[in-house]
Amino acid sequence: KTLVVTLDGPAGSGKSTLAKKLADALNFQFLDTGATYRAVTFECMHRGVNLDDTEAVKGVASSITITFSDGGQRVLIDGVDRSREIRTREVTNSISKVANKPEIREILVTLQRKIASTGQFVTEGRDQGTVCFPDALWKFYIVASPQLRAERRLAQMIQQGLPVPAEGLPAILQDVIRRDEADMSRAVGPLRKAEDAIEVSTDGQTEAESLNHLVELVHQ
Ligand code: C5P
């Protein structure tokens, strides 16, 4: 078994915050794998690379250096902090074009395994328990209702000072539902619960309650 804790789940399920806090509680490091897909998507858009051009996207993915700082919270592309730029709605709504390409997933899964091999990690994403770390010691699948997930995304956008769509919450709910469909219908690395993962719902739970629940499960 690999000394890794994996948290998978749909967008806005609360897994990112939970993974960060769980890592702190266990004295592990934290790896946000979504940030690696975001980084490639951002860099392609920034360079004007057509996201439908697999060879060109592959060229970007294999030539840039993605690193993390500040306990895994900040993302650097070739040494430049892009933590904010990778979270805009434009990037978010284009990621599936990058995440759908098996060639890109291979490059990023290799990177994620390499990072996690440098210590004890809590990783979060969509395919962590299924593809990236099938022999992880602990696997969780974090879920929440679409409405709650959209509300969380909106709060996060405001908190990070990102532009909020004029149509407000309904537009974000649409984004969330569309991204669920894209994440679950991918041929390679689709979002799904690993057979041996424990499903945890964050509906009606405070952050502290969800965290305590995970810590208890890990310590069992
Ligand atoms: O978690 P986050 O919302 O930042 O992830 C952004 C997107 O990156 C997801 O919608 C998904 O398409 C992709 N992703 C992925 N595999 C992962 C993590 C994220 O395909 N392990």
Complete DSSP assignment for 9-23: -STTSSHHHHHHHHH
Relative to the CA of 96, which ligand 1 atom is closest?
A: 12
- Give the distance (Å) from ligand 1 centre to CA of residue 166: 24
Q: Is the CB of 127 under 6 A from ligand 1?
A: yes
pLDDT the model gives residue 200: 96
Q: Whose CA is nearest to atom 6 of ligand 1?
A: 34
Q: Whose CA is nearest to atom 16 of ligand 1?
A: 126
- Give the distance (Å) from ligand 1 centre to CA of residue 138: 20
- Give the distance (Å) from ligand 1 centre to CA of residue 126: 6
- Per-domain residue ranges of the chain: 2-204
Q: Whose CA is nearest to atom 8 of ligand 1?
A: 34
Structure confidence by residue, pLDDT tens digits, 174-208: 999 999 999 999 999 999 999 999 999 999 999 99
Structure confidence by residue, pLDDT tens digits, 29-44: 999 999 999 999 999 9
pLDDT the model gives residue 160: 86
pLDDT the model gives residue 220: 85
CATH of 2-204, picked from 3.40.50.300, 3.40.50.360, 3.40.50.620, 3.40.920.10, is 3.40.50.300
Distance (Å, rounded) from C-alpha 6 to C-alpha 17? 13
Q: Is the CB of 141 under 6 A from ligand 1?
A: no
Q: Is the CB of 96 under 6 A from ligand 1?
A: yes
Whether complex ipTM tops 0.85: yes
Q: Whose CA is nearest to atom 3 of ligand 1?
A: 11
Q: Is the CB of 12 under 6 A from ligand 1?
A: no
The low-confidence residues of the chain, meaning pLDDT below 50, are none
pLDDT the model gives residue 82: 98
pLDDT the model gives residue 1: 76
Q: Whose CA is nearest to atom 5 of ligand 1?
A: 34
pLDDT the model gives residue 164: 92
**Which H, E and C letters describe 116-165, residue by residue?**
HCCCCEEEEECCHHHHHCCCEEEEEEEECCHHHHHHHHHHHHHHCCCCCC
pLDDT the model gives residue 2: 79
